Amino acid sequence: MELLKAFGVDYKIFIAQLMNFAILFFVLYRFGYKPIFKFLENRKNKIQEGVEMAEEAKIKLEKAQEEKRAIIIEAKKEATKIMAKADELAQKKNEEVIEKIKKEVALIAAKEKDAIKTEREQILKEVKNEAADLIAFALEKILEEKVGTEKDKELIKKAMTIK
């Protein structure tokens, strides 16, 4: 004890300081360290959860991008198929229209041929009648006597049939 007195330490004050220190340590530990460590532990856990969530979100994002790429590729394939079908249908429709037009042209050509044939026959009849009249007129002038209209027509028809 004398050694403590030599250093100027009073054991009563030392015990009081030791008790004060113990009380302060208990109060700080109870109301300071524990809440601070608890807060830090919670924060650490939240940060860890955030990092894990970020990793999960990154993985999900990568999966979503991969699915998006797959969907785009599938959509492009489907679009290509649709375009091929559309081209095929357009080609068939085009061929059908061309075939229909060809049939219509052939029908119109046939009708026109028939019309031309009928018109030609009509013109030939008219020419034959005119020729018969001219021949009758010429024969009348030549013969100066008229045999008769019926007889003339009969002679003319006979002459016209001999070619």
Q: Quick one: pLDDT at residue 123?
A: 93
Q: Quick one: pLDDT at residue 12?
A: 85
Quick: pLDDT tens for 3-15.
767 777 777 888 9
Q: Quick one: pLDDT at residue 145?
A: 53
User: In the chain, where are the structural domains located?
Assistant: 2-161
Q: Quick one: pLDDT at residue 6?
A: 76
Q: Quick one: pLDDT at residue 146?
A: 55
* Its pTM surpasses 0.75: no
| Cα distance between residue 106 and residue 108, in whole Å | 5
Q: Quick one: pLDDT at residue 47?
A: 96
- Token digits of residue 58: 């990154």
Taking 70 as the pLDDT cut, the residues of the chain under it are: 1, 4, 143-148, 152, 162-163
Q: Quick one: pLDDT at residue 147?
A: 55
In our burial notation (b when 16+ CB lie closer than 10 A, e otherwise), range 31-62 reads eeeeeeeeeeeeeeeeeeeeeeeeeeeeeeee
Measured torsion, CA atoms of residues 88, 94, 96, 97, in degrees rounded to the nearest 10: 160
Q: Quick one: pLDDT at residue 9?
A: 74
| Cα distance between residue 58 and residue 60, in whole Å | 5
8 secondary structure, DSSP code: T
